[in-house]
Amino acid sequence: MASSQTWLLRPLQERSTQIFLGVLFSALIVVTFLHLFMPQDSALHVSAYTVTLLGKYLCYALLAVAVDLVWGYLGILSLGHGAFFALGGYAMGMYLMRQIGDRGVYGDPVLPDFMVFLNWDTLPWYWQGFDMAWFAFIMVLLAPGLLALVFGFLAFRSRVTGVYLSIITQALTFALMLAFFRNEMGFGGNNGLTDFREILGFNLRSDATRLGLFIATGIALAIGYLICRGIVTSKLGRVSVACRDAEARTRFLGYRVERVQLFVFVVSAMLAGVAGALYVPQVGIINPSEFSPLFSIEIVVWVALGGRATLYGAVIGAILVNYAKTVFTGVMPDAWLFALGALFVLVTVFLPKGIAGLLQKRRKAKDEDTTTGQEATA
């Protein structure tokens, strides 16, 4: 029990974790206060739209943390984490669709509107149980986790590594995207799942519900960050870094590298699924575009920009890139991809360790100056 408690509490003793959680919870408190207590005509008022937008950024931040766990500390460049994100989103979307009931366009108490439109007579077996919140929440973890378990077992057991593994993960998410585009799959086809009404009995179009989802996403990000920090600061984390830097030598020392890789990969996939589940009720739709390989590549850009193997750098990168995307798509909608590409190239050339690396470098220089000053005084 003591070792378990140490494993769980160790990240809270780190200065970087304390700063990260302090900034995160301060932001949650400030946004909540400005939304609830500032008049709507005030310049300081945070609108419901902005709250939802910030919640979306936090979902992406959790997704970036999941990718950084496998890429930064395990050395696996996954170009398919968008699939795990989308599966978690679809699991939540199926639950939200079942909550509509007879309030849909066609008034069917069981079948979602798109199934009635396609002349389906009965609810598919894989939709059973999604009218219950607890079942849907389990599937949010189980669906991406099971896919990662099967895929990872086959890939790591076969010792597929490097660019080959990246290509296979990209092929996986592309295949799922094509499958979910088909109407006969029973997931809404090209249009996906949308027109959600409520979650856990709360109206999704209510400002209070949107604020609650924003806060829940912030808490989920904090928990996901702590889980990842707990892993990377444990013995498992040290073995993961060893697998990243010298896989053959780690095997020679007697470690079951594939088991380490599989465990971390599955945990990362589950975190991505949670991010997708929190994303769907806030944006109001989930469709096959979330499986797009381009989206998975974009996630890697977030992590690279923020800084690999730091976790908090992934959060910084995800928020900054998506904020820039929001701005650029409004100012120059046809050119924002070029701006994103240019940003990635500049960071790769001038900041190979990302924004987090720059912060660490400045902190190290400051500590050295402080030490030099103390020695000179002495």
What DSSP string describes 222-277? HHHHHHHHHHHTSHHHHHHHHHHH-HHHHHHTT--HHHHHHHHHHHHHHHHHHHHH
**Dihedral over Cα of 69, 75, 78, 79: its sign:** positive
> Which carries the bigger pLDDT value, residue 204 or residue 334?
204
The pLDDT, as a whole number, for residue 374 is 62
Whether the per-residue pLDDT at 164 is higher than 80: the answer is yes
Whether the per-residue pLDDT at 378 is higher than 90: the answer is no
Whether the per-residue pLDDT at 356 is higher than 90: the answer is no
Q: How confident is the model at residue 221 (pLDDT cuts 50, 70, 90)?
A: very high
Q: How confident is the model at residue 245 (pLDDT cuts 50, 70, 90)?
A: very high
Q: How confident is the model at residue 365 (pLDDT cuts 50, 70, 90)?
A: low
The pLDDT, as a whole number, for residue 375 is 62
CB atoms within 10 A of CB 48: 17
Cα–Cα–Cα angle for 72, 74, 77, rounded to 5 degrees: 65
Lowest mean pLDDT across 8-17, 65-74, 340-349: 340-349
Mean pLDDT of the residues in the chain: 90
Assess if residue 312 is contained within a domain. no
Assess if residue 365 is contained within a domain. no
**Residue 155 three-state SS:** helix
Assess if residue 43 is contained within a domain. yes
CA-based R_g, the chain, Å: 22
Whether the per-residue pLDDT at 5 is higher than 80: the answer is no
Pair of tokens at residue 287 = 């469709």
Assess if residue 3 is contained within a domain. no
**Number of domains into which the chain is organized:** 1
Calpha distance 288→285 (Å, rounded): 10
Which range marks the domain in which residue 208 is found? 10-292
- How confident is the model over 18-35, as a mean pLDDT? 96
Q: How confident is the model at residue 175 (pLDDT cuts 50, 70, 90)?
A: very high
Assess if residue 73 is contained within a domain. yes
Angle between helices 293-306 and 48-72 (to 10 degrees): 80
The pLDDT, as a whole number, for residue 1 is 45
Assess if residue 313 is contained within a domain. no
Dihedral over alpha carbons 365, 366, 371, 373 (to 10 degrees): 110
The pLDDT, as a whole number, for residue 38 is 92
The pLDDT, as a whole number, for residue 105 is 87
User: pTM of the full predicted structure?
Assistant: 0.93
- DSSP annotation of 194 reads E
Whether the per-residue pLDDT at 224 is higher than 90: the answer is yes
Assess if residue 75 is contained within a domain. yes
> Which carries the bigger pLDDT value, residue 327 or residue 131?
131
What DSSP string describes 29-96? HHHHHHHHHS-TTSTT---HHHHHHHHHHHHHHHHHHHHHHHHHTT----S-HHHHHHHHHHHHHHHH
Residue 128 CA, distance from chain mean position: 26
Whether the per-residue pLDDT at 268 is higher than 90: the answer is yes
Amino acid of residue 337: L
Q: How confident is the model at residue 370 (pLDDT cuts 50, 70, 90)?
A: low
- How confident is the model over 169-197, as a mean pLDDT? 94
Assess if residue 133 is contained within a domain. yes
